[in-house]
Structure 1
Amino acid sequence: MGRNSKLIWLLLVAVFIGLAGCSQSHAKKDETENKVIEHEEKTESENKEKDAEAEEQEKEEIQPIVVNVIEPTTQDVIKSLTPVEMGYGNDNEKYKAELEKWARELARGTDSTPGYDHRMIPDKLGPDGQVIKGSPLIILDEAEFVESIIQASEKGGDVELPLYVTASGYEMNDAAQLSEVIVGKYTTYFNPSVAGRTKNIELSAEAINNVILGVGDVFSFNTTVGPSDEAHGYQPAEEIVNKKLVMGIGGGICQTSSTLYNAVDVLGVGYVEKHHHSLSVGYVPEGRDATVSYGGKDFRFENTTGVPLLLKAVVGKGSLTVEVRTSTEYEAQMKKGI
């Protein structure tokens, strides 16, 4: 091999060695760059996960505690409360006072919204001896309701309205026998020629006639009789208002309530509400009257006799008689004080 040939061969070898080294250098560089990119991507992904966790935690910390109030029959949410916004944890006395106010409105209603509380409308005995159903007593326990919300205010949750429904305290198969014996009776008199007053007495007497009072039932005259207005057939007649005799629609129904009072009074029932007129009335002795006014004063009593009763109201020509009856079996129990 000549000298020039050797030089050429050496140059080629050098070139190949250089190219190989360059190739290895580029490979290492690419590998390093890939590792850097992978690390950066991993770091970025981890940071995003951390940011997401932090954001979620922040949301959980900021999310206010909520108490949902549930209507038990429909299971609907009638209102969602945020306790902290109402003073819980900061002014608990104010918070409780707000809850008590709302509970009172829910139970008793407002000028625009009816309440959950409903007085019992008693069952009646129909002309054919069949029972005509009324409606049960419904009470929203305000104190229990407020306490349940306060307990739930710490962690949130659902609170059902504590509604208590009480049906009339008598057995259906006893109804037919409740007219057997009279255990209380009272008669008052009026002038039948005064048409308006006579009509009002007849309508109110019919409303309480054949009413069944179970054991423990609370009778409300206003709830049972209903509105004494023109729409329900009541007529103008004299009535006592603020110690004066004035003309008013429904005048005379107080004679019905007063006659009923004297009939049940002999049984020792428990009085829930009873009012006297501001003037003496002529149809019962002094202090033996029970005035009523729909939407105002009421006559209410509880059947504490221990047995079911039946009210009978009979209007004659110028007379009103209210009788309290029960079955022969129950009369015996009453006499024994059972």
Structure 2
Amino acid sequence: MTSRTYSSRDAGHPHARKRRRSLWWLWTLLGLVGIGGVLYATDLVMSEGTVPRGVTVGGVDIGSMSPEQAEVRLRNQLDAQVKTPVTVTAGDMETTVDPVTSGLTVDWDATVDQAGQQPMNPIVRITSFWQTREVGTVSHFNEQLLGGTVSRVTSDLSREAENAALSIDDQGRPEVTDDIDGQSVDRNAVDDGIRRHWLNADHRIAVDADSTDADVDREDAEVAVRDVVDKVTAGDVVFTGRDNVNGVLRPADMGKIVTFTPDNGSFRTDWNVDAAREILSGTLSATEVEFRNANFEVNGSDLVVVPSQDGVEIDWDKTLDPLADKLLDTTNRRHEVSYEDHKATYTTEMAQKANFDDVMGSFTTGGFAGDSGVNIRRVAEEVDGAIVLPGQTFSLNGYTGPRGEAQGYVEAGVIENGHADRAVGGGISQFATTLYNASYFAGMEDVAHTPHSYYISRYPAGREATVFEGAIDLQFKNTFDTPVLIRTSADSSSVTVELRGVRHVDVESIPGPKTDYTDPERIELDGDTCSPSSGSRGFTTSDTRVIRDLDGRELSRTTTTTKYDPSPIVTCR
């Protein structure tokens, strides 16, 4: 084994210099590592408990802040943004969502927490000086408010398909409204879109929509324009009437007459005949003459003949049928008006020969109260002088019209549910019974009469009538070829009705027996208007009317059966 001793001259040897450089780099590296370790430890200690460096939320830097500071900064800088209304779109529709009223808020504490803890990786800590890391917000939802908003948005973004529309304007030109596709959105998709994207930077959310086509579109409208509108507006359609008077349907009128309705994939054309008639009547009504049978004006005891007049009437059914064919015909735009001539069935000459010398039928009733008498005299005054022409039907309700206080009628006694009550017009039924019997014995045809539900002893059983305005009427028809004059008279105790004219028949009334009696029930009533009553039994009876000509030959025999309810026994409490 040998040893070597280095002298001072060895220090300049190349190997020695190389060793010295290696040691220098080693010490430098160790120094740097030591410094880095110190810096890392210092940074780690100083940043403990803060948000990691480089973290942003919505573009707001909250790195190296305490959670409290970060939350305050986010609230200050993002508060307006999270309250900004959001536009939700689907197809070509849109609506808005107000976060405040929709229960959409940010959980700032949870948002800061999700930034995480300080990273232990030194490389991550070093790169965080120039790199940023965006973390999302944590939303909080008020489920009740959000549910209402989702329902509204779903409705706002949905619509039924709208068909195209077609009409003719007041200038005779077609007017087409385009069809609109329908669309619908899925409620769950709306809910998910709002939850996920309500904080988008552009404040917009897009939701997929399913579309449905309209049943009738613009192309269908164009077909109807070509096939119908262009033809009916090709020019005036003239209807030639009598006396050189014409009615004209102009293109500008067609919008009132011709309308279009979507129907099963096309437009259905509807033809308004009434509208066409109204337009044409503006001029053609001058060619009509009102039909009028002869009649009489009664002035006290004097009768003045009102002359008859033959009538001329347009037969609109024949004139306008078929309306569609006439309006669509572009080669023939002129058509004849059809008329009907009506000859008077009761002429002036007949009226001038008329006489009212015979009493055809007469009847008198009495026994009414004073207030009922006011109404009986009032209705008798109204009916006195009424004329019933041959073939005409007389209606008591129709002739008098309303019978209220404004017409001079007063409150009086009536029978309501079998017991006494009061109403305006009480007593009119007594006049109706009197008129019914007069017409009965005059041989008038019974068109409508209604007996009372309860028998009233001052009237003939099975041969009486009641009336009620708007519901129950008394009607009879003059089947003879001569007119009838109704004459009335009434005082404080009785009322009489006569039917005057030419007597044609004799009438006999054969009353039937009373059968099938029913006993009354007992009732108790309250009130000042209560009137006690002993009641009466109900029964069934009949009346047979026999009509004979003046030579005694029987012409008819008619039996009418009437059933009366029992009147209750009334006790007043």
CA distances 1:219-270 after superposition (whole Å, capped 9, x unpaired):
1111222221111110001224555543111111111111111111123322
Q: Which residue of 2 aligns with 1:173?
A: 352
Task: Report which of the two has the higher share of helix.
Answer: 1
Q: Determine the structure 1 residue equivalent to 2:72.
A: none
Q: In the superposition, relative to structure 1, how do residues 267 and 331 fare at CA in structure 2: closer, same or farther (>3 Å)?
A: closer
Out of 136, 147, 152, the position equivalent to 2:323 is 152
Who is 2:373 aligned against?
198
Write the distance in 2 (CA, Å) between the matches of 1:153 and 1:200.
Answer: 56
For the pair 1:335 / 2:525, whether they are aligned, the reply is: no
Quote the Cα distance in structure 2 between the aligned partners of 1:164 and 1:292: 35
Counterpart mapping for 1:129-140 below 5 A: 129-131=302-304
Distance 2:477 2:262 in 1: 41
Provide structure 2 residue ranges, at least 5 long, that are not aligned to the other structure. 1-224, 239-245, 275-292, 328-334, 507-548, 554-573
- Whether contact under 8 Å (2:373, 2:492) holds in the other structure is no
Equivalent residue letter for 1:235: V
Backbone CA RMSD of aligned residues: 5.0
TM-score (norm 2): 0.34
Q: CA deviation at 1:203?
A: 0.8
Structure 2 residue corresponding to 1:62, chosen from 205, 225, 229? 229
Change (3 A) 1:221 1:82: same
CA distance, structure 1, for counterparts of residue 379 and residue 406 of structure 2: 14
Q: Which residue in 2 is equivalent to 1:187? A: 364
> Which of residues 214, 230, 235 in structure 1 aligns to 2:410?
235
Query: Which has more radius of gyration?
Result: 2
CA distance in 2, matches of 1:201, 1:291: 13
Residue of structure 2 in register with 1:127 after alignment: 300
Equivalent pair of 1:258/1:284 in contact (CA under 8 Å): yes
Contact 1:190-1:283 within 8 A present in 2 as well: yes
The match for 1:257 among 432, 441, 447 is 432
Matched with 1:247 is: 422
Q: Report the Cα offset of residue 280 of structure 1.
A: 2.4
* Residue 330 (structure 2) aligns with: none
- Residue 125 of structure 1 and its aligned partner are, at CA, apart by 2.3
Cα separation, partners in 2 of 1:272 and 1:154, compared to 1, 3 Å: farther
TM-score (ref. length: structure 1): 0.54
Q: 1:149 to 1:185 in 2, by over 3 A?
A: same
- Counterpart residue type for residue 326 of structure 2: K
Q: Are 1:219 and 1:301, in contact at CA under 8 Å, matched by a contact in 2?
A: yes
Q: How does 1:3-14 map to 2 (within 5 A)?
A: none
Cα distance in 1 for residues equivalent to 2:431 and 2:228: 65
Residue 44 of structure 1 aligns with which residue? none
Q: Give the gaps of 5 or more residues in structure 1.
A: 1-57, 69-74, 101-119
**Compared CA separation, residues 306 and 152, structure 1 to 2 (3 A):** same
Relative distance call for 1:324 and 1:145 in structure 2 (3 A) is same
Q: Secondary structure at the residue paired with 2:326?
A: coil
Alpha-carbon offset, residue 204 of structure 1? 0.8
Identity of aligned residues (%): 25
Tell me the residue number matched to 1:223: 398
Determine if contact 1:168/1:213 at 8 Å carries over to the other structure. no
CA distance in structure 2 between the aligned counterparts of 1:174 and 1:145, rounded to whole angstroms:
36
Whose strand proportion is higher, 1 or 2?
Answer: 2
From 267, 276, 298, give the equivalent of 2:442. 267
Shift of 1:83: 6.1
Q: Structure 1 172/307 Cα, relative in aligned 2: closer, same or farther at 3 Å?
A: closer
Between the two proteins, the alignment pairs up a number of residues equal to 243
Matches of 1:165 and 1:273, distance apart in 2 = 29
Three-state SS of the structure 2 residue aligned to 1:313 is strand
1:306-317, aligned counterparts within 5 Å? 306-317=481-492
Cα distance change on mapping 1:335 and 1:82 into 2, 3 Å? same
Distance change in 2, residues 1:251/1:99 (3 Å): farther
Is 1:281–1:289's contact at 8 Å kept on the other side of the alignment? no
2:476 alignment counterpart: 301
Cα deviation, residue 298, structure 1: 1.4
Distance change in 2, residues 1:60/1:99 (3 Å): closer
CA deviations on 1:280-304 (whole Å, 9 max, x unpaired) are 2333223322222222221111101
Q: Which amino acid aligns with 1:200?
A: N
CA contact (8 A) 1:240 1:277 kept: no
